[in-house]
Chains A and B, each alone.
Chain A
């Protein structure tokens, strides 16, 4: 005895032949043994669909209907609108939910690699080359505006409440002390642009340079430094980046890349992406050559200003001893394998029996350390 009666009629079905917009009431005969679906049209004609070729149209909103099609790209449709009949079809058609095979796999792969290639070419070759060229022609006022915009973006990204900007520390005495360091170094440098120095009220041990002569120190860095000379050493290194216009290139690059990556990942990841790229800007992923040049610049500048170049070496060694490689600034300075060499180079740049001139008085140094205290 068979599980199903050999012939079952599904009465309430509508047939669309895919050739005209007419809707025809039909009887559908389900023949499970012969594995056939026979459609009896109103004009007496008969059509036969193999049961294993019957598919349902997916993601239908109304569960009171079942829309059937034949495997492949045909336009014929049968609409069954009765719970019993739907149950019968579901029980007898074995491949109802199967999907048609994807026809253009090779084509998708080709276009996917073309898209990845194009984006890689643009982000890693075209945009950097153009940014480097354009950075040279950007006039100082333009660079300044670019830096102002970037600084604002960074302050917004780092603010923990998410609603305002990270405050700038500017106690009167602290700012005066900071100006002492800036003057001492700038007097011996020949920068193409005036410096703008800010301390941001953030615990991260970090410092970075932005386009237009912006140098930004975080409160965490000043807290960790034991002498003003250590701050000056970091300061001089960032001046090296300003002199070489490294931040301008990075900012122009990220302007080109943000849009392209946003395009790739769609709208939803766009916000996360901007945060990520801001992070990249702070970490300032310069090339090895750029870092070496900034180091060399800093060494000669510090010597010219009667300050010890090894300040940076003692500072980093102490940080490394207490925290490992975690602080952001160590990432900035330690990202290359020859970091040991760089510490050694800083020591070597300091002549034997080096007698520096005092940078800040003890009072000024304490004022600098309290630059973020409002009261």
Chain B
């Protein structure tokens, strides 16, 4: 697998630095690492790193994460959503601490209280926007167009700039609350600059039928990375946007192929039966060569795989071109693995949801069948209305709970583990030169992102 091997892969392995990871078992300095039965989650490394390099370990267990996600989600439901700020913070602490570059865990220092505060600040502004603007949009779309889809569309378009703005601000907050080796990360202010760039790049990408997609991927990432710092060191995104074409070609070509096949089987040589022409001798005999539809399906599947490969490998290629002073990254995630994690993870999540729903639905159906005549006879049914309401609420919330809890151990954790374990940090010797940076107060925290549901992953 040569994919994702950046220029650092060859260059930095020759580094003769004598610095080692502080952890004996990470760099192999201690010939006989103590192993005790309690050491249940020792860092695992897929490749022993060269000297001056730090491999990244991942220390989390699915069972523990399931327990944490379950407890916090349940509390969120019981507190009518207020606990969600605590839930998010605790899950982040957990994930951050599971990732251990060079054996030292990342630390998330955001607090639930500041998230709550930021959310309250955003509510004051957003409630006005959502209440009044939605009402006006709805009125205008019904008054002028006699249709509410226009309102949804304009309302949606109006939120897009806010969405980009919020995602940048949210990134700034999360980086400001992330530490490694006691040193803070940081992101410079620049949310509006990001917003208009993102909108322009999206428009250009859409107008170019996706051909300039890599340009957007690279430019937006560079905008964010070039404003990111680790302690006193500024990060730099090197490379050029054209380097992403190597992996963008597959999804772009399969997209164009799909358009081509579509034109062929719909217009040039239509697949469907034509309207019989009464003045013609030629009789239509059903659809012609319907097997051509499989070409479309095939191109679509290749395109989907291509998109996942692009998303995974574009991250890797760009990571390999990131530097922070003399420190660099080697990322080597595998597309097949990511595809497998997604498909198995979601399959199992849905399977669990279905298995959970069957008994609940049967219970409800049983009630319905057993008491239907009473419904028909009069307004006073045999089951009090509150029983139905409670049953409905339990159903609704157990779907919510299953989904939000199982996603963590089945999808998010394996993904994080894979990305972590395929990441290596180079130039360890330079780390000692990096100094602390000041705290970014940022009292709004993630208020807007929270209100707009940006970055719903964790």
Binding site for B on A (CB under 8 A): 12, 14, 16-25, 57-65, 67, 73, 75-77, 79, 81-84, 86, 102, 104, 107-108, 111-112, 114-115, 118-119, 122-123, 126-127, 130-131, 134, 137-139, 141-146, 149, 160, 203-205, 220, 223-224, 252, 255-257, 259-260, 263-269, 271-272, 319, 322-323, 326-328
B128 at the interface (CB under 8 A from A): yes
- Chain B residues lying within 8 Å of A143, measured Cβ to Cβ, are 142
| Cβ contacts under 8 Å, B404 to chain A | 268
Contact status of A144 and B146, CB under 8 A, knowing A21-B432, A104-B113, A123-B131? yes
Interface string of B115-126 (1 = CB under 8 A from A): 011001101101
CA distance A61 to B42 in the complex (A): 11
> How far apart are the CA atoms of A76 and B142 in the complex, in Å?
60
* Per-position 1/0 for B424-444, Cβ under 8 A of A: 000000011111100100000
Contact (Cβ within 8 A) B105 A256: no
In the complex, B60 has a CB within 8 A of chain A: yes
In the complex, what distance in Å separates the CA atom of A157 from the CA atom of B435? 59
Give the distance to chain B from A238, nearest Cβ to Cβ, in Å. 18
* Interface contact A14-B104, CB-CB below 8 Å: yes
Among B3-11, B179-187, B287-295, B347-355, which stretch is in contact with chain A?
B179-187
Chain A residues touching B, majority SS: helix
Cβ–Cβ contact B130 & A263, under 8 A: yes
- The 10 A-B pairs with the shortest beta carbon distances in the complex, nearest first, are A62-B59, A16-B182, A61-B98, A83-B38, A59-B93, A61-B60, A142-B142, A256-B135, A22-B432, A21-B434
Contact A14 B22 (CB under 8 A): yes
B76 to A: closest C-beta gap in Å: 7
B77 within 8 A of A: yes
In the complex, are the beta carbons of B182 and A131 less than 8 A apart?
Answer: no
Distance in angstroms from B226 CB to nearest chain A CB is: 20
Residue of B nearest to A99 (CB): B111
Q: Cβ of B303 < 8 Å from any Cβ of A? A: no
Listed A/B pairs (7) with beta-carbon separation below 8 Å? A57-B107, A83-B38, A102-B113, A114-B124, A122-B131, A134-B136, A203-B379
Bound: A112/B123 CA distance, A: 9
Q: For A322, list chain B residues within 8 Å (CB).
A: 378
- Pick from B126, B134, B379: contact of A204, CB under 8 Å: B379
Question: With A145-B146, A263-B451, A269-B80 as given contacts, are A61 and B378 in contact (CB-CB < 8 Å)?
Answer: no
Residues on B with C-beta less than 8 A from A111 are: 117, 120-121, 124
Show the binding face of B for A, using Cβ within 8 Å. Answer: 22-24, 34, 36-43, 59-61, 64-65, 68, 76-77, 80-81, 84, 90, 93-95, 97-98, 100, 102-105, 107, 113, 116-117, 120-121, 123-124, 126-128, 130-132, 134-136, 138-139, 142-144, 146-148, 179-184, 230-231, 368, 375-376, 378-381, 393, 396-397, 400, 404, 431-436, 439, 450-451, 453, 456
Docked-complex contact B117 and A107, CB < 8 angstroms = yes
CB distance from A73 to the nearest CB of B (A): 8
Residues from chain B with Cβ under 8 Å of A60 in the complex: 93-94, 97, 105
Closest CB-CB distance, A254 to chain B, in whole Å?
Answer: 10
Q: Report whether B142 and A81 are in contact in the complex, using a CB–CB cutoff of 8 Å.
A: no
Please indicate the chain B residues that have their CB under 8 angstroms from the CB of A122 in the complex. 127-128, 131-132
Do A149 and B148 form a contact, CB below 8 Å, given A62-B100, A204-B379?
Answer: yes
Known: A61-B97, A266-B81. A126 touches B59 (CB 8 A): no
Q: Which residues of A contact B90 (CB under 8 A)?
A: 58-59
- Point out the residues of chain A lying under 8 angstroms from B450, CB to CB: 266
Q: Is B431 within 8 A of A75, CB to CB?
A: no
Q: Which residue of B lies closest to A146 (CB)?
A: B142
Look across to chain A and name the residue whose beta carbon is closest to the beta carbon of B456. A267
Query: Is there an interface contact between A269 and B38, defined as CB atoms closer than 8 Å?
Result: no
A62 to B378, CA, bound (A): 60
Which listed residue, B76, B102, B146, B432, touches A142 by the CB 8 Å rule?
B146
In the complex, what residues of A have CB within 8 A of residue B126's CB?
Answer: 263
B76 touching A268, Cβ below 8 Å = yes
A255-B138 CB under 8 A given contacts A122-B127, A139-B143, A269-B81: yes
Shortest beta-carbon distance from A8 to chain B in Å: 16
Bound state CA distance, A292 and B456, in angstroms?
48
B100 to chain A, nearest CB (A): 7
Contacts of B436 in A (CB 8 A): 18-20, 75
**Roughly how many angstroms separate A175 CA and B127 CA in the complex, as a whole number?**
45
A252 to B148, CA, bound (A): 12
Q: Residues of A contacting B380 with CB < 8 Å? A: 323, 326-327
Given A21-B231, A81-B23: A203 in contact with B375 (beta carbons within 8 A): yes
Nearest CB on B from A74, distance (A): 9
List B contacts of A126 (CB < 8 A). Answer: 131-132
B123 touches A14 (CB 8 A): no
Question: Are A265 and B104 in contact, CB atoms less than 8 angstroms apart?
Answer: no
Q: Which residues of A contact B61 (CB under 8 A)?
A: 61
A108 B113 Cβ-Cβ under 8 A: yes
A271 to B41, CA, bound (A): 40
A111 and B41 alpha carbons, distance in the complex (Å): 42
**A16: contacting residue among B38, B42, B95, B181, CB under 8 A:** B181
How far does the Cβ of A137 sit from chain B's closest Cβ, in whole Å? 7
User: Which residues on A sit within 8 Å (CB–CB) of B103?
Assistant: 81
Interface-central residue, B94, B107, B378, by most chain A CB under 10 Å: B378
Q: Which residues of A contact B453 (CB under 8 A)?
A: 267
Least CB distance from B387 to A in Å reads: 14
Q: List the B side residues contacting A22 at CB < 8 Å.
A: 181, 431-432
- Chain B residues whose CB sits within 8 angstroms of the CB of A142 once the complex forms: 139, 142-144, 146
